[in-house]
Structure 1
Amino acid sequence: MHRPFLEQPEYRDGHRRQDGAAGLIGHRSRFPSIVGRRCDSATGSLRIVGAEYTAWNSGRTSRSGRSTSARSSVPGIGPSGWQTPLVDSRVELGVIAVFAGLLVGAVLFVPFVALSYRRRGRLSLGRLALFVAALVYFWALWAYTLLPLPDPQTLVCAGTNTDPLAFVDDLWGAWSNIGSPTAFLRDTAVLQLALNVLLFVPLGFFVRALGGRGILVAIAAGFATSLFVELAQLTGMWGAYDCAYRVFDVDDLLTNTVGAALGSLLALVVPRGLSDPSADVDPGAPRPVTVPRRLLAMLCDWLGYTLTTFAVAVAVRAYLIYLADDRATAVEGPVSTIIGGSVTLAVWLLVILTTGRSPGDHVVRLRYVGGSMPVAVSRLLRFLAGIGGYGLLDLLPEEWSILVTIFAGVAVVTALFTRNGRGLPGVLNRQELVDSRALPQPAVEVDSTTRT
């Protein structure tokens, strides 16, 4: 498992080293094979680990109480300027995780809302927040365990630890050489163990809070995820590198799995309504039609239109570049965007003409009813007063883009200030907006002879 400046630099020549000049700790090494293939001639330490050792050791006191600042006189070990690159790299990984989570969240938002309405009858803000947090955690887990990838030209092969429970010896050795509880809690072996446990606590938490699964599933998920990460590191990202670029540690399988189990227990405090889809009385029961629900339908339509248009445009552009060998048209012209938007609008029009509801309406289970216009006309107006009008204006040349903004503004304002959020389609069609689950079932025809 990846352990930035907490563990790897301590191991050299098959031994765990103390800070300063206190010598070697008298317990067995966790990583007897940590020695890399190339070493830095100036320091005698592993080249790729030396910078992390500088970061971890700079400004720290030894277990004997002596300062380690004397190391600044050794070439390649001094503390100057290490903080910013290391901190920045971890901040960058965090930013990558957040943006990747939000991007994937946007792609999966519509399916998540649809699933919530089918399984729970509604969408709650609490469950939506859990969903977004889980996506950010997912990317953070991979970013902090597998990134950044090293330069193959300067790669130093990492070692392995296949001795289960070797961390017990590390903890005992740290306590024996420190003695002070406060200093013991700050020791790298203790911090590494705690961080490896904490890293997988969210995994077990989300397994129960979002998936509704118990501790056994959380343990299995934690072990499987940890094993995947460890094998990716051991195999050099599945053969992308000639050897392991981070330490494979069998103890991480245990500590990560323990973290997932603790997270599952922690999720027991989550209200049942957030973690158990069956907590609602009846997902098929009608719900009140509100303005936020209508706005949610509009958001689903817009997201679906935007993502589908983008996907089709990318496919068209790839065809023009790689199959039609027409890079100029693909890069400079609006052909791909026009085709993408047109295909998406055709799909939305087909859905509305055949069902009377947009995909967004289907997702949140809404329907327009009433009105005196013919069905075909009212459904066409439903398309033009919704995402259809937005999309058609969006296909106009760029100098007309202000019309798209005006149309979107009018659509949102009318949804905010009309009854039940029926918005522009309801106003033009003189229709009301209802929960599709509240519609009466088709009447059964009765034989005329039974009528009185």
Structure 2
Amino acid sequence: MRDQLVLALLAVLIGGIVGFLLFVPFVAASYRRGGRLPLSRLAMWSAALVYFWAIWTYTLLPLPDPDTMVCAGVNLNPAQFVADILEAISAPGAFLTNPAVLQLLLNVALFVPLGCFVRVLGQRGVVVSAVLGLSISAIVEFTQLTGVWGLYPCAYRVFDVDDLLTNTIGAVIGSLLALALPRAMRAGVASTSAAPGGEVTRGRRIYAMVSDLVAALIIQGSTGILVQLWLQFVVQDRSAVIAGTIAGVTGTLAAIIGTLAVVMATGRTIGDIAVGVRFAGGPGDEWVARLMRYLGGIGGYLLLSALPGGWGGLAFVFAVLSLVLVFTRVGPGGLPGLLARRRLSDARRGASRPR
């Protein structure tokens, strides 16, 4: 039971990391296609991402020690599970606790979510679910059969054609079960229809703010990693690597400079671009307005978080204030709109140019 929990947590961890890296492109693709991103759709795609990694963690992990592993067998009899079930029926003890029965039920259950995701997110039926279920199961089984494509000298788990059948059955069952969901719910999750009139909602603004933060953290983290690698393998300064100060400072500067460059060049933050909005109109010089837009958003947060000592805590206060202003009479433009004296609008309605 403990091992199963560890594998589940590992799938959530990997799925969370990949989801974090893909968040901004996913938001951008959703708004580019339909001008909206329902929270239910984001939640379903997040669940699907974790599920994808769960398939691999549960079927391939834990990897064995090459020195102690034992080569597994092969089952090419497509009806072997039927014989196992019949044997389980006649065997003493509880039927549902029989290892053969449990194996069958788990193989079916593992692919039930796949059929549900295909139905709800992909708007495809039983046939597509069956084909995908069979295809993914085949990839998993052949990965096991080949010892992770040559990583091991032989298969460390049994290659079983019954798994191909039961996994496919699970995907079909999932597709049929998804029909029980209200049609409106399934349509809402899968919908990419545009918001009426390109309306800039508060939810849209929140997505932009989160995208700005995620993009800044990715810039900061990736820069820090590159600096650490440079210090480790080029400079070979182990003490600097352990301290992490150089990487931290460089990463923070990269995030500040990178996000500022995007705003000054386009008038929009990365989040604004992702959700398709811009701050336009209003008095004053456009270049100053762009700088104010930056300081009223992700720029202000990054600069405050870079302050030494306990002053970095002001970044949290700034973030809370920014979020509160979005939900006040100020409107979705929030603090950036106030400082830049610009109105938040759909980017497709035109752009202002710096004078």
Using the size of structure 1 for normalisation, the TM-score is 0.71
Structure 2 matches for 1:109-148, cutoff 5 A?
109-148=23-62
* Residue number among 256, 265, 282 corresponding to 1:371 in the alignment: 282
Q: Confirm or deny: 8 A CA contact 2:130 2:172 kept in the other structure.
A: yes
Question: How many Å apart are 1:302 and its aligned residue?
Answer: 0.7
Instruction: Provide Cα deviations, 1:219-275, integer angstroms capped at 9, x if missing partner.
Output: 232122212221222233333333322111111111112222222333344534245
Instruction: Please report how far the alpha carbon of residue 200 of structure 1 lies from its aligned counterpart in structure 2 after TM superposition.
Output: 0.8
Q: Does 1:296 align with 2:210?
A: no
Whole-Å separation in 2 of the counterparts to 1:326 and 1:217: 54
Give the match for residue 148 of structure 2: 237
What's the counterpart of residue 336 of structure 2? 425
- Take 2:40 and 2:241, find their aligned partners in 1: how far apart are those partners? 43
8 Å CA contact 1:212, 1:277 repeated in 2: no
User: 2:70·2:156 contact (CA, 8 Å) conserved in 1?
Assistant: yes
The answer for the alignment partner of 2:21 in structure 1 is 107
Q: Does 1:406 align with 2:320?
A: no
- Per the TM alignment, residue 132 of structure 1 is displaced from its structure 2 partner at its CA by 1.5
Matched residue, 1:318: 229
Query: 2:289–2:341: 8 Å Cα contact kept in structure 1?
Result: no
2:12 to 82, 87, 98: 98
Q: Is the 8 A contact 2:280 2:351 kept in 1?
A: no
Indicate conservation of the 8 Å contact 2:41/2:190, yes or no.
Answer: no
1:157 aligned counterpart, secondary structure: coil
Residue 220, structure 1, aligned to residue 131, structure 2: yes
Indicate the SS of the match to 2:283. Answer: coil
Deviation string, structure 1 residues 250-309 (Cα, Å, up to 9, x no partner): 11111112222222333344534245446x2xx375343333332221111011101221
Runs (5+) with no aligned partner, structure 2: none
Q: CA deviation at 1:217?
A: 3.1
Offset of residue 374 of structure 1 = 0.7
Q: Label 1:352 to 1:192 Cα distance change in 2 as closer, same or farther (>3 A).
A: same
> How many aligned residue pairs are there?
349
* 8 A contact 1:119–1:277 mirrored in 2: no
The amino acid that maps onto 1:428 is L
Question: Identity over the aligned pairs, expressed in percent?
Answer: 48
Query: Which residue type is aligned with residue 343 of structure 1?
Result: A
Q: Is the 8 A contact 1:212 1:275 kept in 2?
A: no
Equivalent position to 1:157, from 71, 74, 80: 71
Give the AA of the match of 2:272: D
CA distance, structure 2, for counterparts of residue 195 and residue 259 of structure 1: 9
- Distance in 2, matches of 1:188 and 1:205, equals 27
Please tell me whether Structure 1 or Structure 2 has the larger radius of gyration of its CA atoms: 1
TM-score, normalised via structure 2 length: 0.88
2 CA distance for matches of 1:240 and 1:425?
A: 53
**1:378 CA displacement:** 0.4
Give the aligned residue type for 1:395. Answer: A
Which is worse superposed, 341-350 or 311-320? 341-350
Paired residue for 1:255? 166
Which residue identity lines up with residue 310 of structure 1 in the other structure? Answer: G
Match of 2:345, SS state, is strand
After TM superposition, give the deviation of residue 389 of structure 1 in Å.
1.8
How far apart are the structure 2 equivalents of 1:191 and 1:330? 49
* Greater displacement, 117-126 / 320-329: 320-329
Q: Partner of 1:309: helix, strand, or coil?
A: helix
C-alpha distance in structure 2 between counterparts of 1:399 and 1:413, whole Å = 23
| Aligned counterparts, 1:265-280, within 5 A | 265-270=176-181, 271=183, 272-274=186-188, 276-277=190-191, 280=193
Structure 2 counterpart SS, 1:428: helix
Q: CA deviation at 1:387?
A: 0.9
Q: Which amino acid aligns with 2:325?
A: T
Which residue matches 1:361? 272
1:165 Cα offset (Å): 1.5
Mapped partners of 1:364, 1:318: distance in 2: 34
| SS in structure 1 at match of 2:197 | coil
- 1:173 Cα deviation after fit: 3.0
Measured at CA, do residues 268 and 308 of structure 1 come closer, stay the same or move farther in structure 2, by a change above 3 Å?
A: farther
Root-mean-square deviation (CA, aligned residues, Å) is: 2.5
Query: What is the CA distance between 1:171 and its match in structure 2?
Result: 2.3
Greater helix proportion: 2
**Deviation at residue 386 of structure 1 after TM alignment:** 1.1
Point out the more displaced range, 350-359 or 396-405.
Answer: 396-405
Deviations 1:126-148 (A, max 9, x none): 11111121122112211111112
Shift of 1:207: 2.4
TM superposition shift of 1:215 = 3.3
Q: Distance in 1 between matches of 2:255 and 2:351?
A: 32
Q: Aligned letter for 1:412?
A: L
> What displacement does 1:212 show?
3.2
What amino acid does structure 1 have at the position aligned with 2:64? P
What secondary structure sits across from 2:344 in the alignment? strand
